[in-house]
Structures are given as C-alpha cells and as structure tokens.
Amino acid sequence: MNDVEHDPFQEQKLQKLQQIICLIPVVGWIPAIWTVSRHQGSRQELSASRASIRLTLVWAIAYSLLWFASLQASETLTLRLLYFNGLLTSGYVLVSLGFMFRVWQRKN
C-alpha cells in the first residue's frame, strides 16, 4: 500500500500549499479570487485568500497612483515618487512573504 494514501496530514499539506499559492505577490490574487468565489475551503484558506486580495488591491491602487503622479510631476518630485513606489513594492513583497512564512509555520 502507498504511504500517501494513508497519510492523515496530506490534506493539511495541500491546504497549506493552496494558502501559500494564494499569497504569492502580484499573481496570487488570481487563485485567491477563485477560492473566494467558490466559497469552498477551510476558514484559514478563505482568510488567506481574502488577505491576499486586499493586500494586492491596496498595493495596485497605491502603485498606480504614485506612478501616474510621477508622470505629471517635476523631475525632482518624479524621482522621489518612483523611489517611494519601489519602497512600497518592496514592502508589499515582504508582507506577502511574511504571511507565507506564517502559513508555513501553521500560525493564523
């Protein structure tokens, strides 16, 4: 008999993997929306999906506003806005990685 068939933790591993996939920066919102729209999955999966969607939405709006503002600003202000945009994106990636690490450690 195969050990995978009798592994009682296999489903937990799959749920963790699904949560981590939903938290991938920039592209994780796609499987997250799929998970939320189906209304299927554990409470933790739905919570991670909603957090991913919110985080990505806030980042995308802030990124777009800063980028469009930099197009209309003077050269000095443009550099500052684009620098802040880079910091914002770095923060977004670090927060996403932090969430992924918490899921990997089985924390809420």
* Distance of alpha carbon 80 from alpha carbon 37, whole angstroms: 39
pLDDT value at residue 98: 93
Three-class secondary structure of residue 107 per DSSP: coil
User: What single DSSP character describes residue 91?
Assistant: H
- 8 — pLDDT class (breaks 50, 70, 90): low
How many Cα atoms occupy the beta-carbon half-sphere of 104 within 13 Å? Answer: 10
- 4 — pLDDT class (breaks 50, 70, 90): very low
The contacts of residue 6 (CB under 8 Å, 6+ apart) are: none
Q: Torsions phi, psi of 2, nearest 5?
A: -85, 135
Q: Per the structure block, which two tokens stand in for 24?
A: 């991938």
User: 101, 86 in Cβ contact below 8 A?
Assistant: no
Question: What is the amino acid identity at position 48?
Answer: A
pLDDT value at residue 107: 63
